[in-house]
A and B are shown apart, each in its own frame.
Chain A
Amino acid sequence: MYEPKIIAFFCNWCTYTAADLAGVSRMQYAPNVRIVRVMCSGRVDPELVIKAFDLGADGVLIGGCHPGDCHYQNGNHKTLRRYLLLKKLLPQVGIEPERLRLEWISASEGEKVRRVCNEFTEELKKMGPLKKEVKNA
């Protein structure tokens, strides 16, 4: 079956810590996810998301603190709004919106990291590779 590549942007204070917890607790989860640590999910510029797809990611996962828990107060509120706008844009440019996923995962939710990574990997396996661009000039 197709092995998708997933780029995950995890915020330092919650989701990355949770991924760390999943690691030290020796939880097994799909190896398809490459994690990039960012200070806040609000730092995930839409350019980073599209660039990831452009460079060959089949899925992009953004993980941040639960609403109300962001260490920069409302960085994740902006993340959510960007995510909604991106979800509207993606199908217009031939990228299935399901390839972008946003999850709130707190520092103690190592188990949720495992579940989300596994679920997302499974979904992307079923979807197969991202459609390519045409190149001819």
Chain B
Amino acid sequence: MPDKPWVAFYWCASCGGCEEAVVDIGEKILEVVQAVNIGFWPVAMDFKREDVEKKPEGFFVASFINGGVRTSEQEDMVKLLRRKSKLIFAFGSCSHLGGIPGLANLYSRNEILNYVYKESPSTDNSQNIFPLTSFEDNGYALHLPEFYDRVYSLDQVIPVDYYIPGCAPPPDIVTGALEALIEGNLPEKGSVLSPNKALCSTCPLNETKPEKLLIRQLKRPHEVQADPDKCFLTQGLLCMGPATRTGCGERCIKAGMPCRGCFGPLDNVLDQGLSMLSALASILDFSPEELSKLEETLEACPDPAGTLYRFSLPASIVKEKRRK
């Protein structure tokens, strides 16, 4: 079918869940392959880098790239795909914001390599073997990609046209994006393909939230049996709903868990974590005279960076832990 447009799928620093998310659209995938040819999808089909290299510039109508960028190989591949594609879709939280692998930005490259190759309890590396980018043995040269100092969101490495949010993106968001591409009615470039409203505004538990929400305690999800029918924030569980964009179908809420923020911030919010920090400060009902009580309460949030930036550290203003 020569006149069908070509698309590509690729993964970088991600868990593989986003590849699943493509397959999760179920029988809709049949409609997709009727409308487009898949010209590159290493996880599912046999393709090599040369298959992309051979193509002319702008050959793919769209490339869907999941995962953040942590290695030289990932950088090289996404730059190649950028040249060969008319549109780039950042697919999933890691590509959109850096994602959970982006929390590695709280540690230095050396701390990570040392722990993984030396210090972790299950590692025995008495010969001090660490990965090298090139190695020669018996006349054979071996090469490994370089492991960068930090994780980057995709748009910190190449220009991105659209963002498909979520960890992983739910089927209707993926289908919606593919349909918009095929039918040619994509919104303005740079858009995140989910509604620009806070999760709270569509959450079924929102009506259980008092008009003026104030809390006197914070709890951690594993410490309590949460009431699944009552707004989690009202129960003192840190729910990222106020600072997270909607569109996921309130998946976690319906499963009895507070939102962890995977859809990222709303448009024009520079920093999802700080936006939640601000919201939390507003509802913690402690006066300046109760400072020590407040400090005690905040002990229930021992890892603010990991909680507030669970999916968005690399794309936040903070980006990483400063160390030099």
Contact = CB atoms under 8 A, between A and B. Distances in A.
Interface in B98-154: 106, 148-150, 152
Contacts of A134: 149-150, 320, 323-324
B150 A88 contact: no
A131 B274 contact: no
Nearest to B306: A92
B157 interface: yes
Interface in B72-119: 75, 106
Interface string A74-93: 00111011101110110011
A137 B305 contact: no
A82 to B, nearest CB: 4
B275 A85 contact: no
* Binding site secondary structure of chain A: helix
Interface residues of A, number: 29
B298 to A, nearest CB: 6
A51 interface: yes
B298 A50 contact: no
Residue among A78, A130, A134 with most chain B CB within 10 A = A134
B286 interface: yes
A92 B302 CA distance: 11
Contacts of A136: 148-150
Given A67-B288, A134-B150, A93 B274 contact: no
Contacts of B230: none
A123 interface: no
Given A78-B282, A133-B319, A89 B305 contact: yes
A85 B319 CA distance: 18
A47 B317 contact: yes
A137 B68 CA distance: 12
B201 interface: no
B278 A137 contact: no
Contact of A92 (B156, B288, B304): B304
Contacts, number: 100
B180 interface: no
Given A67-B288, A81-B286, A82-B277, A92 B321 contact: yes
Nearest to B322: A94
Given A46-B277, A89-B305, A132-B324, A77 B318 contact: no
Given A77-B287, A131-B324, A50 B278 contact: no
A132 B282 contact: no
A54 interface: yes
Contact of B298 (A88, A94, A95, A130): A88
Nearest to B157: A137
B152 A137 contact: yes
A7 B319 CA distance: 21
B25 interface: no
Given A88-B301, A131-B323, A137-B69, 10 more contacts: A51-B317, A77-B286, A77-B287, A78-B281, A85-B298, A89-B304, A89-B305, A92-B303, A137-B148, A137-B152
14 contacts: A46-B271, A46-B277, A47-B271, A84-B281, A84-B295, A85-B298, A88-B298, A89-B277, A89-B304, A92-B305, A92-B306, A94-B323, A134-B149, A136-B149
Interface of B: 69, 75, 106, 148-150, 152, 156-157, 270-271, 273-275, 277-278, 280-282, 284, 286-289, 291, 294-295, 298, 301, 303-306, 308, 317-324
